[in-house]
Amino acid sequence: MAPTVLHLRSETKPLEHRSALTPTTTAALIKAGYVVNVERSPERIFDDSEFEAVGATLVPEGSWEEVPKEHIIVGLKELEEKEFPLKHVHVQFAHCYKHQAGWENVLARFPRGGGTLLDLEFLVDERGRRVAAFGFHAGFAGAALALEVWAHQLTHPPSSPFPGVASYPNEDALITNVKKALATGTAAAGRSPRVIVIGALGRCGSGAVDALRKAGVPEENILKWDMAETAKGGPFKEITDSDIFVNCIYLTSKIPNFVNLDSLQVPDRKLSVVCDVSADTTSPFTPVPIYTVATTFDKPTVPVEGLSSGPALSVISIDHLPSLLPREASEAFSRKFPPPSLTPHG
């Protein structure tokens, strides 16, 4: 029987530098009996030559559309919005099953072509825990950016938007930058920020708390909330009493909002930065319905409109935050790959 062929496609999302497979996991897959074809990529954090060196075959960028139907197409982020039917098995994050904008058009392409979607968001182990996720690094990057935005607000006029950001070569470089920003912000405010992390016991929340600690936020200034604290139902004044709110909750059904526009209209509000790590901008399940625009690395924040009092409020809603640390995030993620449903033959 012929071996299973995995085809790693080049990501098309702007500034997406992560990879579902790394050279390390590619070598392990080949040893396990897979054939791995890797599209050349100008954006991927790993050089093409790193994959070739471990035995992968390099193929042209975008060639997945024409390969045999039996090849399994592996990627991270959603495909480009096109109309042609999809005939392959696709392994990726599709961002469809919480009724995100355009979900019907995306899913309709699979039955029209006889293809199958294995959405990484819903591949779980026997305990119902996600097999492969970027949660830790999403939380880490989101909290780091939130600290930088807070410091920027204190040291720049309201008319000066937070500038674009780019990927860092490693965690140390990111934390060094955040520490510098935090020092300037703390000096301007005369105090350290108070940060509330909701979902603090999960992978994403753990990453956020880790970043806050490494950046130098005092432990007593980090409010670590999870299900016990949110059980009473929001909105929560503890959020508006904090300078920064990092939302690390992933939802598939509606719960009371953690914060809404009404809860922000209080004269003593301190909240000036929200990082919605889940970035479910168009989902009806979002517990943070205060914005409608997804942000990007080149425009990391969006203002909350219609506030009559308190400081300006900026939201970070970048849906690929781990790409701020693409090498480390990819290595951590791909150690969990392939999912159990992909079994090599031969």
Residues catalogued as catalytic: 77, 95
Rounded CA-CA distance 59/39 in Å is 5
DSSP state of 102: T
Rounded CA-CA distance 22/19 in Å is 6
**51 CB-contact burial (10 Å; exposed 0-12 / middle 13-18 / buried 19+):** buried
Contacts 24+ apart (CB under 8 A), 94-99: 94/119, 94/121, 95/121, 95/319, 97/121, 97/122, 97/252, 98/251, 98/252, 98/280, 98/283, 98/284, 98/285, 99/282, 99/283, 99/284
Q: Compute and round to an integer the Cα radius of gyration of the chain.
A: 21
Rounded CA-CA distance 94/122 in Å is 10
Q: Which two tokens stand for residue 166?
A: 């780019």
**164 CB-contact burial (10 Å; exposed 0-12 / middle 13-18 / buried 19+):** exposed
